[in-house]
Structure 1
Amino acid sequence: MSTQQPPMPQAPAAPDWQAAPGGAYPGYTSPIPVVRTHLGHALASEWTKIKSVRSTMWTLGVFVVLVLGIGMMAAALVKAHSGSESLSGQTPLQLGFFGLLLGSMCIITLGVLTTASEYGTGMVRTTMTACPSRLRVLTAKAIVFFVVAFVVALAASGFVAMVQTSMLDGVGGAKTPSGGDWLKATLGISLYIALLGLFSLLIGSIIRHSAGAITIMIGAVLAPLVIALFMATQSLNKVREWLLEYSIPSQMSVFYDNSLSSSGPTGWDPLWIMLGLAAAAFAGACALLQQRDV
């Protein structure tokens, strides 16, 4: 007596847009265009982020207020004492140093927040998911931040330089600034501040903690000068001179031909020093970014 096997159940037919088991898709085309991503997409993303957060407007706004406010206040005070030779042999452009020194703290803060804040909020995971190339993300952040910081610093320093020159023309024995003086007091100092902010951005990427990175950068700006002022012993004289020569405030003052030390960097040397520091920090940030998890 033969036994009949029950028929095997048939798999349901696949829809037209879905491939049958073991088959291929029958000419389906996704409505979403597929394009190869590049650095331009990362730049557009970082530009959208940096212009959307409130910290950008606050830090840059305070920077402009400090540069213009302190610069004009210094010019007004010098003009009020026009009977003295307060600017004898000097250019009015040197008065812009004070506002830019304080304003650089705002650029440092914004640079750190551009990278470190994403680690604090967890947004970095979304960023790296959207763009798995970590080096591309860091490069885009660096480019966007540097351009923004440079443009704002150039506009603020250029404006305050023009106002100070017009207010103090021939006042207090001031001399007329040359073309080189103008170039260093506007373009040179703006590039230096933008590179200082970029260095802070990279330190933020290395530290991954906003408060810690900001503290380190403020200490790097102020600590060498403060320590040097208390080194009064003869045995520490060389260390004191080195700290005075290469402290960030002293390097910034070189662009106004008013260095805190008679030796050390001159001309455009501070720019190359900061560029070297930023390059070394970028290499370190790239290496750590590739090794560590987000």
Structure 2
Amino acid sequence: MPYGPPSQPYAAVGPYTSPIPIRRTHLGNALASEWTKIKSVRSTIWTLSVMVALVAGIGLLVATGTSDSDYGDIPTTLPGFFGTLLGQLCIITLGVLVITSEYGTGMIRTTFTASPQRSRVLTAKALVFFTLSFTTTTASLALVAYASMGIHSGPGVAEPTGEQILGATVGAGLYVSLLGLLSLAVGSMLRHSAGAITTMLGVVLLPSILPAFLMMSDSLRELGVKMQEYSSPQSLAALFQLDESLDSGWSQLSLLAVVTAGALIGAYTLLEKRDV
């Protein structure tokens, strides 16, 4: 049978239309994806559980181990302060792992393939993490604060004001959550878990250690005092209003918010410029 051109040409085929309905993705889809990922990872459950155990456990232990006479000049919301000093390290670690764990396993390539708009992915991670950490931390602090207020009451006990309760719950929860958000931004820029965690530990610990050496010099004394004032322990102490000489802590909280915003801007910029 001779081979040659067909007697009748094939009909032209139009553009292919997928039978699967296609819809535009939006931030809500990215939020749902990040929520599924963060709640499915064991490190999230363990890290948050340790944080709650530290904040609530140490706080309640201090509340039950002290007497009414200890709260003559300090508010009864004090016990939450001690657990928060350690609990903040858990939120810092979790903030780093939320982003660096995907870089470590290579899953970040899959994430950016599914959602090419990288800024949307980072925004979703930041919103989901901040909401989760703020809710968990504030709830733990509120549990300790109101339990301590119930244990210690009556004549001779300094009844906490509304501002003191707000600082010991919402204020401290916001401060710790901003530290975690700063950790996420640092993790996004460094893309390495150990390096980012070490950097954040330096950010938290150095301002508490360096002032002791800086204040040995007359020329650096003022810098040491200011650094100590804005260190993490001093900021939390101000939010809990442990001393009347301290301010309410909102200035330290504002500075941390500005630093975190700057770090997030850097993270967004590098995320768009660098390869995965």
TM bin (shorter chain): over 0.9
Residues 65-84 of structure 1 mapped to structure 2, 5 A cutoff = 65-79=53-67
**What residue is the counterpart of 2:19 in the other structure?**
31
Deviations 1:7-30, CA, capped at 9 Å, x for gaps: 52549997xxxxx6x6414xx642
Q: How far is 1:153 from its partner?
A: 0.8
Conservation of the 8 A alpha-carbon contact between 2:51 and 2:91: yes
**Aligned partners of 2:215 and 2:3: how far apart in 1?**
101
Which letter does structure 2 place at the counterpart of 1:40? G
Deviations 1:192-247, CA, capped at 9 Å, x for gaps: 11111111111100110001101111111111111223445242311220221111
**What residue is the counterpart of 1:193 in the other structure?**
176
**Aligned partners of 1:199 and 1:280: how far apart in 2?**
9
Q: How far is 1:117 from its partner?
A: 1.0
Instruction: Figure out how many residues of one structure are paired with residues of the other and give that number.
Output: 274
2:102 matches 1:118: yes
Which letter does structure 2 place at the counterpart of 1:100? T
Q: Which runs of 5+ in 1 are unaligned?
A: 1-5, 15-19
**Aligned partners of 2:149 and 2:86: how far apart in 1?**
21
Calculate the TM-score normalised by the size of structure 2: 0.92
Q: Which runs of 5+ in 2 are unaligned?
A: none
**What residue is the counterpart of 2:153 in the other structure?**
169
Q: How far is 1:174 from its partner?
A: 3.0
**What residue is the counterpart of 1:179 in the other structure?**
162
Distance 1:13 1:97, change over 3 A: farther
2:201 matches 1:213: no
Decide which of 39, 44, 48 is 1:56's aligned counterpart.
44
2:134 matches 1:144: no
Which letter does structure 1 place at the counterpart of 2:83? G
Segment of structure 1 superposing worse, 105-114 or 178-187? 178-187
**Aligned partners of 1:11 and 1:105: how far apart in 2?**
78
Calculate the TM-score normalised by the size of structure 1: 0.87
What root-mean-square deviation, in Å, do the aligned CA atoms of Structure 1 and Structure 2 show? 2.2
Q: How far is 1:270 from its partner?
A: 2.1
**Aligned partners of 1:13 and 1:287: how far apart in 2?**
54
Residues 213-252 of structure 1 mapped to structure 2, 5 A cutoff = 213-235=196-218, 236-252=220-236
Deviations 1:49-80, CA, capped at 9 Å, x for gaps: 0000000000000000001111011112212x
**Aligned partners of 1:188 and 1:105: how far apart in 2?**
17
Which letter does structure 1 place at the counterpart of 2:71? L
Which letter does structure 2 place at the counterpart of 1:104? Q
Which letter does structure 2 place at the counterpart of 1:112? V
2:116 matches 1:132: yes
Distance 1:7 1:253, change over 3 A: same
**Aligned partners of 1:96 and 1:11: how far apart in 2?**
88
**Aligned partners of 1:120 and 1:73: how far apart in 2?**
38
**What residue is the counterpart of 1:3 in the other structure?**
none
Segment of structure 1 superposing worse, 231-240 or 103-112? 231-240
**Aligned partners of 2:103 and 2:4: how far apart in 1?**
56
2:4 matches 1:8: yes
Which letter does structure 2 place at the counterpart of 1:68? A
**What residue is the counterpart of 2:253 in the other structure?**
271
**Aligned partners of 2:204 and 2:7: how far apart in 1?**
72
Segment of structure 1 superposing worse, 104-113 or 214-223? 214-223
Partner SS state of residue 86, structure 1: helix
Partner SS state of residue 70, structure 2: coil
Distance 1:276 1:242, change over 3 A: same
Distance 1:175 1:120, change over 3 A: same
Which letter does structure 2 place at the counterpart of 1:99? G
**Aligned partners of 2:182 and 2:199: how far apart in 1?**
12
